[in-house]
Amino acid sequence: MNASQNGQDGRVPHVGPDPRGEPEFHPYHHPAAGWGAAKSVSRFLVRERALVDGPRAIMRMNHENTGFDCPGCAWPDDTKGLHLDICENGIKHVTWEMTGKRVGREFFAAHSVTELSGWSDYDLEDQGRLTEPMAYDPESDHYVPVSWREAFELAGRTLRELDDPGQASFYTSGRLGNEATFLYQLLARELGTNNLPDCSNMCHEASGRALTASLGTGKGTADLKDWETTDALFVLGVNAASNAPRMLTALAEAYHRGAQIVHINPLVEAAATRTIVPHDFTDMAVLKSTRTSTLNLQPRIGGDMALLRGMAKAILEQSGTDPKALDQEFIDRHTAYFDKYRAVCEATPWDAIELQSGVSRDGILKAARVYRDADRSIISWCLGVSQHEHGVDTVREIVNLLLLRGNLGREGAGPSPVRGHSNVQGNRTCGIDHRPDEKFLDRLAEVCGIDPPREHGMDTVATIRAMHRGDVKVFVGMGGNFALAAPDTPYTYAALRNCDLTVQVSTKLNRSHLVHGRRALILPCLGRTEKDHQRGGVQSTSVEDSMSMVHLSVGMKRPASKHLLSEPAVIAGIARAALPDSATPWEWYIEDYDRIRDTMARVLDGFEDCNRRVRLPLGFRIKQPARELVFLTPSGLAEFSAAPLPDVIPEPGTLALGTMRSHDQWNTTIYSDNDRYRGIKNLRTLVFMNEDDMRERGISEFTPVEIVSTAKDGSHRSLDGYLAIPYDIPRGCAAGYMPEMNVLCAIGDYSVQSDQPLMKHVKVTIEPSGHGT
Ligand SMILES: Nc1nc2c(c(=O)[nH]1)N[C@H]1C(S)=C(S)[C@@H](COP(=O)(O)OP(=O)(O)OC[C@H]3O[C@@H](n4cnc5c(=O)[nH]c(N)nc54)[C@H](O)[C@@H]3O)O[C@H]1N2
Ligand SMILES: Nc1nc2c(c(=O)[nH]1)N[C@H]1C(S)=C(S)[C@@H](COP(=O)(O)OP(=O)(O)OC[C@H]3O[C@@H](n4cnc5c(=O)[nH]c(N)nc54)[C@H](O)[C@@H]3O)O[C@H]1N2
Ligand SMILES: [Mo]
């Protein structure tokens, strides 16, 4: 493997482990979770040398304020204090952080950055935990040890010397705790910029904007209790068995209760059939599986809005003869623009709905019937809905449908987005927002005595473009792996390399340390599982889950190295160096995080009295005005939208390609080359295709293919040598894995509604490799 093969020159990046065996594909017919998951976990504990600490830590995970919050997904903790509220992927995630392996100064002395650039991403992370601050030395092309003081001074000086604070950009990956988050945005705003891009810009930005426009709140309103009492669950574009495995428990319980569960996804994922409830040992022992679905519909990629519109149209048509089809009283009292919405539904013909959704009228009517017959419905969604050109319109259509039957502000009902990173929702609540509202800035100014900038800052895509142009010169990555997670890999690499300074605050070595600016720092920090000792004693941090519950997380493990600092301490160190005259008591805050929380309580809506409330057994729930039928919208009501249906049909000869995760990865972290529930072994460089689309192109199983994308501006990008896998996916659709496929996503191809890169809808042609030559 040499550097040029690894995406350095825009060639195919090698992300997964080196192939350990022949690629295999055997369609999966077993329930999700169960012993396959248990086996996979034990293999992983052995590999990470965490056999003793791993299981002990796992028993402390997601416990009422006495343990740490799983650093994995944002699914809420069990409200009944379930003793083993954990999942296969959560365990892998925790073990990944607790690995016994270390990357010390000897490692960096032995390997130059050019050499490391040729390694796979799997191998980089597999080296273990970072142990001390390192700075890039251009003379030797090695990272060399520096003291924390020197590191802060370099970062501080470079920030101080910028012509304009807008030349710096501060990225967050969604697992940063609330206290660090608050300090981080304070640092950026005290410096004078709102350049606060985050992973949300690639994830649920569309959901936040849509819910704000419709309901005046950027979050879902349903919580776990609602999931426990609902009559019908609609799950759109979520691969729950891999990405939110604890949702399997909720689905299985709902099925047992007799609730209807409708999955809407071009792929029938493992969670859309059966599961063995992960923590239920009797189920595990007798291999008793529970169904997790009563209906599966497979729309084309991007077809959800048409499908939802069809359901709404069916309900409206039925209301002519069935007075209970609509909740007219709710519509009259709590909503605005219903007539406009009714008109647009009436004006959208059924054949357009069938064509654009890729689902027959009959299938849509089945879903509509489930919806009509349920007193209480929840609609849940994830990236299959949000990462599209029309993501905002589609989420607003979800709300439209809910409003028709008054599925809001009462038990068992409401919108329920599944968030990604464990604290991505908390990041936004605590001020990571490149478009902050005036009210928040006023409070921040008043309480913190700073003069925050009022003009909007840059998000992820805008930051990349500005780095490319040379307008952003300092990039700070607070966690995450920006180089790989962002779209248009070669373009993003060039952008990062064009910076004067890149600073990565990380736990493990990753690509973003090797694709760096002229000067670069790696600042290693404590993970969530580790004890955070400060002058005021052991500190805890708070996090917010997908359902707005805020609770404490307390690390319990000895830190991976004695040189690690906590994330709040790293931020305070940079802040003091960059703002030597700052009146903010950075050092005082770090002594005791209760002090940070006291300030947050005064600035953030919903955080009043948070030091006390966060210590309650399950923490506290941030009040959702929409849940109480209070709508902070211009009309003061829940607003129907009436967007026209988008045209999502691929042009002749082209396919719509969605990029997604395998079972054995966490975003850019790859655990193995397997994707168990999709029947894949030893292979990541693949593309799932419909068999008829394959036949038409002379492609059979495992045929190497070239995938060429065409951007909105007409430019092309390609990946070659990917193996085709025949899969149950609608015609005209294809799918493969992120982050490799970011090579195909053009930097200019983002939604005009959400500014999100179009990661679930890339226009491609697929031909056998060598076809064109
Ligand atoms: N183990 C593990 N857990 C994770 C993550 C991880 O990488 N690994 N990542 C975390 C993060 S940050 C996030 S945001 C979430 C992501 O969780 P998901 O949203 O489940 O992530 P993806 O793998 O991108 O899968 C998207 C799903 O959408 C479907 N899909 C694609 N296009 C469409 C479409 O047009 N319509 C519909 N209805 N469905 C479509 C795909 O078939 C797939 O099932 O998971 C979080 N949890
Ligand atoms: N094509 C395509 N691209 C996508 C997506 C897609 O569906 N398709 N999904 C997008 C989505 S939803 C997201 S959220 C982004 C994810 O983007 P990111 O959040 O930027 O990426 P991750 O892979 O989650 O980051 C992993 C790194 O985080 C660091 N890390 C782990 N734990 C900690 C910690 O406790 N503290 C600190 N400081 N660092 C830590 C480690 O060094 C690790 O290498 O990717 C996006 N990119
Ligand atoms: Mo995400």
Please report the pLDDT score of residue 68 as a whole number: 75
What stretch of H or E contains 767? strand 762-768
More confident residue, 52 or 547: 547
What is the C-alpha separation between 557 and 561, in angstroms, rounded? Answer: 11
CB count in 10 Å sphere of residue 476: 25
Q: Take residue 66 and report the two structure tokens written for it.
A: 């006495």
What is the C-alpha separation between 42 and 50, in angstroms, rounded? Answer: 10
Q: Take residue 370 and report the two structure tokens written for it.
A: 């489930």
512 torsion bin: left (phi>0), alpha (psi -120 to 50), beta (else): alpha
Q: Could you give the percent of the chain with pLDDT greater than 70? A: 91
Of all ligands present, the nearest one to the C-alpha of 246 is: 1
Q: How far is the CA of 485 from the centre of ligand 2 (A)?
A: 6
Q: Whose CA is nearest to atom 30 of ligand 1?
A: 384
Q: Of 226, 221, 233, 235, whose CA–CA distance to 258 is shortest?
A: 233
Residues with CB under 5 A from ligand 3 (ion): 203, 420
Q: Is the pLDDT at 27 greater than 90, yes or no?
A: no
Of all ligands present, the nearest one to the C-alpha of 480 is: 2
List pLDDT tens digits, range 654-702. Answer: 999 999 999 999 999 999 999 999 999 999 999 999 999 999 999 999 9
Q: Which atom of ligand 1 is nearest to the CA of 303?
A: 35
Q: Take residue 755 and report the two structure tokens written for it.
A: 């500014």
Q: Whose CA is nearest to atom 6 of ligand 1?
A: 666
What is the C-alpha separation between 316 and 325, in angstroms, rounded? Answer: 7
Q: Which atom of ligand 2 is nearest to the CA of 669?
A: 23
Residue the block writes with tokens 């357009």: 352
Q: Which atom of ligand 2 is nearest to the CA of 420?
A: 14
Q: Is the pLDDT at 10 greater than 50, yes or no?
A: no
List pLDDT tens digits, range 278-333. Answer: 555 456 555 677 788 889 999 999 999 999 999 999 999 999 999 999 999 999 99
Q: Take residue 615 and report the two structure tokens written for it.
A: 């210590």
Residues in a beta bridge with 540: none
| 161 CB-contact burial (10 Å; exposed 0-12 / middle 13-18 / buried 19+) | exposed
Radius of gyration of the chain (CA): 25
Say if ligand 1 is within 6 A of residue 266 CB. Answer: yes
Please report the pLDDT score of residue 743 as a whole number: 97
Q: Whose CA is nearest to atom 42 of ligand 1?
A: 267
What length is written for the chain?
Answer: 773
**Cis bond before residue 739 (omega within 30° of 0):** yes
Q: What value does the mean pLDDT take over residues 347-376?
A: 98
Q: How far is the CA of 734 from the centre of ligand 1 (A)?
A: 15
Of all ligands present, the nearest one to the C-alpha of 570 is: 2
* DSSP secondary structure, 49-109, as one string: T-TTHHHHHHHTBT-TTTSB--SSB-PPPPTT--TT---HHHHHHHHHHT-S-EE-HHHHH
Q: Is the pLDDT at 13 greater than 70, yes or no?
A: no
Q: How far is residue 623 from each of residues 63, 407, 454, measured CA to CA in Å? A: 22, 18, 27
Say if ligand 1 is within 6 A of residue 133 CB. Answer: no
| 9 CB-contact burial (10 Å; exposed 0-12 / middle 13-18 / buried 19+) | exposed
Q: Whose CA is nearest to atom 12 of ligand 1?
A: 420
Please report the pLDDT score of residue 64 as a whole number: 57
What is the C-alpha separation between 234 and 264, in angstroms, rounded? Answer: 7
Q: How far is the CA of 138 from the centre of ligand 3 (A)?
A: 34
Of all ligands present, the nearest one to the C-alpha of 541 is: 2
What is the C-alpha separation between 226 and 616, in angstroms, rounded? Answer: 21
Q: Take residue 763 and report the two structure tokens written for it.
A: 């226009």
Q: Whose CA is nearest to atom 24 of ligand 1?
A: 660
Please report the pLDDT score of residue 4 as a whole number: 39
Q: Of 524, 532, 544, whose CA–CA distance to 592 is shortest?
A: 532
What is the C-alpha separation between 432 and 604, in angstroms, rounded? Answer: 12
Q: Take residue 224 and report the two structure tokens written for it.
A: 């776990």
What is the C-alpha separation between 162 and 545, in angstroms, rounded? Answer: 37
Please report the pLDDT score of residue 279 as a whole number: 56
Please report the pLDDT score of residue 5 as a whole number: 40
CA 258, 259, 264, 265 torsion: positive or negative?
negative
CB count in 10 Å sphere of residue 44: 21
Q: Take residue 386 and report the two structure tokens written for it.
A: 């949000």
Q: How far is residue 521 from each of residues 152, 502, 505, measured CA to CA in Å? A: 10, 6, 8
Ligand 2 residue neighbourhood (C-beta within 6 Å): 125, 173-175, 199, 202-203, 383, 387, 420-421, 478-482, 485, 505-508, 510, 525, 527-528, 567, 659-660, 667-669, 738-739, 741-742, 745, 759
Q: How far is residue 470 from each of residues 156, 495, 501, 599, measured CA to CA in Å? A: 20, 8, 12, 36
680-684, Cβ contacts within 8 angstroms, sequence gap of 24 or more? 680/23, 680/24, 680/25, 680/725, 681/21, 681/23, 681/24, 681/25, 681/26, 682/19, 682/20, 682/21, 682/22, 682/23, 682/24, 683/19, 683/23, 683/24, 683/25, 683/723, 684/15, 684/16, 684/737, 684/740
Q: How far is the CA of 347 from the centre of ligand 2 (A)?
A: 42
Q: Could you give the percent of the chain with pLDDT greater than 90? A: 80
CA 188, 189, 195, 200 torsion: positive or negative?
positive
Q: Which atom of ligand 1 is nearest to the CA of 243?
A: 3
Q: How far is the CA of 422 from the centre of ligand 3 (A)?
A: 9
What stretch of H or E contains 496? helix 489-497
Q: What value does the mean pLDDT take over residues 717-729?
A: 97
Residue whose CB lies within 8 A of the most ligand 1 atoms, among 172, 176, 248, 382, for a mutation test: 382
Of all ligands present, the nearest one to the C-alpha of 756 is: 2
Q: Take residue 607 and report the two structure tokens written for it.
A: 């955080």
Residue whose CB lies within 8 A of the most ligand 2 atoms, among 129, 183, 199, for a mutation test: 199
Please report the pLDDT score of residue 325 as a whole number: 98
Cβ-proximal residues to 202 (8 Å cutoff; 6+ apart), any chain = 387, 460, 485, 486, 487, 756, 757, 759
List pLDDT tens digits, range 735-770. Answer: 999 999 999 999 999 999 999 999 999 999 999 999
Q: Is the pLDDT at 52 greater than 60, yes or no?
A: no
Residue whose CB lies within 8 A of the most ligand 2 atoms, among 96, 173, 510, 513, for a mutation test: 173
Of all ligands present, the nearest one to the C-alpha of 74 is: 1
Q: How far is the CA of 199 from the centre of ligand 3 (A)?
A: 6
Say if ligand 1 is within 6 A of residue 264 CB. Answer: yes
Amino acid at 163: D
Amino acid at 400: N
Could you give the angle at which helices 567-578 and 178-191 cross, rounded to 10 degrees? Answer: 10
List pLDDT tens digits, range 387-410. Answer: 999 999 999 999 999 999 999 999
Question: Which domains occur in the chain, in start order?
Answer: 2-30+649-768 (2.40.40.20), 102-202+424-527+562-608 (3.40.50.740), 205-417 (3.40.228.10)
CB count in 10 Å sphere of residue 134: 26
